[in-house]
Amino acid sequence: MIAENNPGNIRISSQTWQGQLPPEVDDQFCRFDTPVNGLRAILKILMTYQDKHGFRTIRGWIYRWAPPSDHNPTAAYVQNVAAACGVGVDDCVDIRALPIALGCLRGIVKQENGQQPYGDATLMAACAAVGILPPQDRSGVSTAEGAE
């Protein structure tokens, strides 16, 4: 659903997201005004999984995100997102850690769409939109690697 700026294939619910547009053709899935707002929504959902539901592993997040009961290839999905993050499927992780947030975005977008077309600047903007920022060195200059 990259065309609808919904790279996570987020379904319409009672939640109204920043930048969410009214449904057009497909009334099951959200539409967003920008890719950053669509990516931001993915991170907000993962933050809820961590903070409200206590999930701290890629396996926990993805089994909630794309459960097998919805005919998803959940086990493969978990492996792909964990690989994108560079962690094990059951490692305790924090979605607010920039490398984990970026890896989750890359992995989820690729799994949902068969491709991950967003550059580092777009992914970093989505992270910044939810307060996930690169560490600062002592001079106050960002030390993020790979940012455009």
pLDDT at 146 over 90: no
Predicted TM-score of the model (pTM): 0.89
Angle between helices 98-113 and 58-65 (to 10 degrees): 40
Helix/strand/coil for 136: strand
What confidence tier does 134 reach under pLDDT thresholds 50, 70, 90? confident
* φ and ψ of 92, to 5 deg: -75, 120
